[in-house]
Amino acid sequence: MTLFHDLAGTGPSTVVLLHSGVCDRRMWDAQFSALAEAGHRVVRCDLRGFGETPVDAPHTHAEDVRDLLDHLGADRAAVVGSSFGGEVALEFAARHPGRVSALALLGSGIPGMEPSAELEAWGDREDALLDAGDVDAAVELNVDTWLGPEAGDEARALVREMQRRAFAVQLAAPEEYDPVDPEVTRDEIARIPAPALVAVGAHDLPDFRAVADELTRLLPAARRVDLDWAGHLPALERPEETARLLTAFLAEALAPTAPRDAP
């Protein structure tokens, strides 16, 4: 199955935008257009179980991304991932390193992430609300947890809508269609050669700040950026500033290497 997606731009470089686990492709509205205007061919997709992509079989998100690139005829792409989308980006880059020209990871997760007691308690609270059928309260829990102090009413309303849609799609799917863990190891992540931006918000949960620390150590070509204004979803909290950050990083990471002078 091909992931539901949008395309913009006609540049020589392909950029894939992977959304967070409380969002869908709509979270990238500002960055989608800005990156296309900067000269990239940009694709944003709904991963399986989010937005307009149903859960119709067991699946591995990273391989769904590979299949989407095959469908688009893109041999290589820069991959931008937010939170859960960052984890999928790492899985894809570890499994298919030759197909990734650059990585931009915003508040990223990491394969095999062990939650802190705080994050585990949040997950238990969400599960309890969903088990009780209180989807409204589960949605509000996510909105309040994942958006930082810069998020306005419009961003909160959009996350509310996207999270409600994700719950509707995922809760209707049978358990046998759950994602398959690709079991990516830390050693595999440490062998990803692509230039990488590791960005994290000062107001994000400690778990994701710790992941940023780990990714900065692991990735051979990592550049760390701390956003003193951001929570977990900078793309929605300051959309234009995040677009500028991504545009500048990709301009540098994807710039042609100047040829050496002949001896």
pLDDT in tens, the chain (263 residues): 799 999 999 989 999 999 999 999 999 999 999 999 999 999 999 999 999 999 998 899 999 999 999 999 999 999 999 999 999 999 999 999 999 999 999 999 999 999 999 999 999 999 999 999 999 999 999 999 999 999 999 999 999 999 999 999 999 998 888 888 888 999 999 999 999 999 999 999 999 999 999 999 999 999 999 999 999 999 999 999 999 999 999 999 998 863 444 44
Model pLDDT, residue 257: 60
The DSSP-derived string for 154-210 is HHHHHHHHHHHHHHHHHHTS-GGGSBPP----HHHHTT--S-EEEEEETTS-HHHHH
The pLDDT assigned to 258 comes to 39
| Separation CA 50–CA 172 (nearest Å) | 12
Amino acid 259: pLDDT = 41
pLDDT score, position 175:
87
Going along the chain from its start, the domains and CATH numbers come out as: 5-253 (3.40.50.1820)
Sheet containing 13-18: order of strands: 5-8, 40-45, 13-18, 77-82, 100-106, 196-201, 222-227
Nearest residue to 84 (alpha-carbon basis) of 130, 47, 52, 44: 47
pLDDT of the residue at 208: 98
d(CA 125, CA 67): 35
Q: What pLDDT is recorded for position 262? A: 40
pLDDT recorded at residue 159? 98
pLDDT of 252: 96
